[in-house]
Amino acid sequence: MKEKILEILKSKVSRKNWELWFNSFDVKEVGEDKIVFKVGNLFIKEWLERKYGSIIKRVIRETFGREIPYEIVYESVERVHSSEPLIRKRPLVITPLNPHYTFENFVEGPGNTFAYRVSLEVAKNPGRYNPLFIYGGVGLGKTHLLQAIGNYLFVNEPDLKVMYLTSEKFLNELINAMKSDEMNEFREKHRKKVDVFLLDDVQFLMGKSGIQLELFHTFNELYDSGKQIVICSDRTPEELADFQERLVSRFQMGIVVRIDPPDENTRINIARKMVEMEDGDLDKEVIDFVALSIPDNLRRMKGAIIKLLAYQDMTGEKVSIQKAKELLGDILAKGNSIDSFDKLLNALSKTFGIPKAEILGNSRKQGVVLARQVGMFVSKKYLKMSIRTIAERFNRSHPSVLTTIKKLEDAISGGNKTLKSHVDSVVSMMHGMVGNGGLFGG
């Protein structure tokens, strides 16, 4: 019966929506007079009840030939709901938000829909889905969404005190408070005078256990009084290396959502939106060109657009694709690192005789580990990739990438010939793959 319900339901929902909303959906119990479904969190439960209630009813009727009431439960760490509304007395703490970072200016696409909708729900019902943890690669819109929540509340709930902080700022404020013996003020400010706490780039606090402890207490106090907490990070809670376990589990108590890189279509729409946000005017082909040639990082795409618009402003001349290529030379070359990285993977795979997936995976086999280490080293020394990007590409933590690269550096300068020859053969193989030798420029 279980399978049958799911099968019929699946046939009535588009694939995209199935993947988006039903991936944690399951039949928990089939009784004579009640059917219980379960999902991964409260947000999905409420969304399904609202948007798919009638479809689910219909599916039950089709499966059993009669109507049976149903219930959707969610199974994650349940929180004790405080029914108290958020405190709305003191005036808003003004935090500098970028006024462009709004929900209206955020383009929805397959990679970010879930994050977008949950964020919007959080803005509409602060305190309800708590905490919200958003993670994803660099330049994919995390800060934009975080601030969109702030901007939305600023307009719609002016009595609410919203605090937006980067983790770096949080750390600096803590250090200053300690220096000037003002810890009470610091705690009062972050724990008591806030209704909505938006904390950006929490991975910045990796390896800094003192501030993690402070954050833990801040978190608990806000959470216990029903205040909304939203946290952004470039990795999942579990991947926050040496974060205290109890803090990680706090982050997982509510909803964890991922932002994936946008597909081509979404990138084009985002590029258009960026031009519009700048009050600019670029030819359609130029926008498409920019959107398609800068694939991995929207911040870089925005930089490119601003550069082209500035050129138009200054010269009064409309930028053509040819001109755009010329003006964006440096930015486009960096975008190329994707191709270079592919070449590196191919070269590693050939040199060491190991499939690419294994190199990027978790295998601890000696040969695989060596291939991976050489890969990180070459990424840094020859492809000039940042540690952060290398960590992302190889799916390793920032500190472990640093240690590896340092280790290989020392070994090679210490005269390890085998290692040196591995590196050389990988590099020359990559050269061979490039053809015109343009790989290592810059």
Lay out the sheet containing 35-39: strands in order across: 26-30, 35-39, 70-74
Shortest CB 257 distance to Mg ion, Å: 15
Helix (H, G, I), strand (E, B) or coil at 65: coil
* Interaction between residue 273 and ligand ADP (CB under 6 A): yes
* Interaction between residue 305 and ligand ADP (CB under 6 A): no
Please identify, using beta-carbon distances, which residue of 60 and 259 lies nearer to ligand ADP: 259
259 phi and psi angles, rounded to 5 deg: -105, 125
Least Cα distance to 199 among 185, 184, 212 occurs for 212
* Interaction between residue 298 and ligand ADP (CB under 6 A): yes
Binding-residue total with Mg ion (CB under 5 A):
2
Binding-residue total with ligand ADP (CB under 6 A):
18
* Interaction between residue 139 and ligand ADP (CB under 6 A): yes
Q: How many CB atoms lie within 10 A of CB 245?
A: 8
Options 8, 30, 87, 138; binder of ligand ADP; rule CB under 6 A? 138
* Interaction between residue 112 and ligand ADP (CB under 6 A): yes
Nearest residue relative to ligand ADP (C-beta): 141
Please identify, using beta-carbon distances, which residue of 58 and 299 lies nearer to ligand ADP: 299
Pick what 302 binds: ligand ADP, Mg ion, none; C-beta below 5 to 8 Å, kind-dependent: ligand ADP
Which of positions 124-163 make contact with Mg ion (CB under 5 A)?
142-143
Please identify, using beta-carbon distances, which residue of 189 and 273 lies nearer to ligand ADP: 273
> In angstroms, what CA-CA distances link 155 with 66, 90, 94?
47, 16, 12
Cα 208 from Cα 184, distance rounded (Å): 21
Please identify, using beta-carbon distances, which residue of 181 and 279 lies nearer to ligand ADP: 279
Cα 276 from Cα 280, distance rounded (Å): 6
**β-strand 228-233 against 196-200: which pairing, if any?**
parallel
Q: How many CB atoms lie within 10 A of CB 103?
A: 17
Shortest CB 224 distance to Mg ion, Å: 28
Pick what 307 binds: ligand ADP, Mg ion, none; C-beta below 5 to 8 Å, kind-dependent: none
Cα 48 from Cα 62, distance rounded (Å): 19
Residues that bind ligand ADP (CB under 6 A): 101, 105-107, 112, 136, 138-144, 270, 273, 298-299, 302
